[in-house]
Amino acid sequence: MKKYITIIGLGLIGGSLGLALKREDQDIHITGFDRSYATADKAYRRGIIDTVAASAKSACEGADFIIFATPVNTTVSLLEEASDWDLKKDVIISDTGSTKSPIMEAAKCLIEKGFTFIGGHPMAGSHKSGVTAAKGHLFENAYYILTPIGDESEERIRTLSNLLVPTKGKIVVLDALEHDRMTAIVSHFPHLVASSLVGRLADQESSQPFVKKLAAGGFRDLTRIASADPTMWRDITIQNRLELLEQLDGWLQEMNHVREMIINNDPEQIFDFFNDAKKFRDELPSTYEGAIQGALYMTFDLHIDIPDHPGVISEITKILAEEEISLTNIRIVETRTDVYGILVISFQTAEDRKAARFALSKATDYSMHIL
């Protein structure tokens, strides 16, 4: 039976979701609404949506699934408005917001009316925003967190999870508060730090005009996310402020320890500081090695920084062919840094990836990473 899906907000995440859902030959019809008509029109022209709606309300009435992919404060307002709309009785409503507790709170007005709301957060994205940056493979291998309200039936969670299968994300069910605590640690607070580091550079630029030109490599890696959309991050910061304050207190303490360490000037202590961080960082599970049981789909990607000249891709594929290593996908992305192009090659097994890395490291001097 044809499924009618509505996506509200057709930017990076809404657009990528539309593309992902359409990748498999599902019998679906996607209606989209964006407050920017130009965005909705672009989404239609790219084949992300089948129909452009005139309003959020008209887009939602008649849908089997509704996904809000708007900035989180907007999602809260829209959920409150939606409780007065004439929605289908068995519709499943979800969102893609980076915060979950305030959204679950706002969804209560829908739940009280008997509708199903299951919070959602695909943990993949980019510092780029807007429909032009949307990609069908954006959520592949990334965790896709669902936060049901608690007494949601397993069957409804399964129905939403099944819809999301073409995203090739790894669906995990979490409590909303737990979600907000963890994302504060790994995403929201690091974002504040990245923007603050850029702010420190900007403040000191007038006395050190050349410093901006020196800001390469590490500084750029560390602060890439500061180029993300300020509206989205304003909303996230407002919604997750208590967790952020907690992280900030811990960070201030940590910075005081760093300060003491520098005052002490003890080489052993300084070595240990960097060494402990290196050990922990090196042992972080890669997106794939950390895959949970029941992951829907798994590939093993190798990211290669490639210089921008013709012939590099054929050089790399030739080396792999000579070693008889098969690859399942190859693509160029530019999301991690704007200095190099990044070639991402996917393999079916960790062994293939390891063999490929070994072969390429013998034959070339390209930097390779497993994220």
Ligand X SMILES: NC(=O)C1=CN([C@@H]2O[C@H](COP(=O)(O)OP(=O)(O)OC[C@H]3O[C@@H](n4cnc5c(N)ncnc54)[C@H](O)[C@@H]3O)[C@@H](O)[C@H]2O)C=CC1
Give strand ranges (E) for 208-354: 300-306, 329-333, 341-347
Select from 68-76, 84-92, 105-113, 239-247 the region that touches ligand X (CB under 6 A): 68-76
Residue 240 interacts with, from ligand X, ligand ENO, none (CB under 5-8 Å by kind): none
Cα–Cα distance measured from residue 174 to residue 27, given in angstroms and rounded to the nearest whole number: 29
Residue 39 interacts with, from ligand ENO, ligand X, none (CB under 5-8 Å by kind): ligand X
Which residues from 112-151 bind ligand ENO, rule CB under 6 A? 123-127
Select from 5-13, 145-153, 177-185, 304-312 the region that touches ligand X (CB under 6 A): 5-13
Residue 36 interacts with, from ligand X, ligand ENO, none (CB under 5-8 Å by kind): ligand X
- For 310-317, the CB contacts below 8 A with 24+ separation are 312/343, 313/343, 315/364, 316/343, 316/345, 316/360, 316/364, 316/366
Which residues from 74-103 bind ligand ENO, rule CB under 6 A? 98
Query: Applying CB under 6 A, which of residues 6, 39, 101, 240 lies at the interface with ligand X?
Result: 39
The residue among 111 and 222 lying less far from ligand ENO, judged by its C-beta, is: 222
What SS3 state is found at 333? strand
Query: Applying CB under 6 A, which of residues 26, 83, 187, 337 lies at the interface with ligand ENO?
Result: 187
Q: What is the DSSP letter of 240?
A: T
The residue among 130 and 341 lying less far from ligand X, judged by its C-beta, is: 130
Comparing C-alpha atoms, which of 120, 190, 180, 185 is closest to residue 149? 120
The residue among 66 and 123 lying less far from ligand ENO, judged by its C-beta, is: 123
Residue 187 interacts with, from ligand ENO, ligand X, none (CB under 5-8 Å by kind): ligand ENO
CB 269 within 8 A of CB 261: yes
- With residue 156 as reference, give the H or E element that holds it: helix 154-164
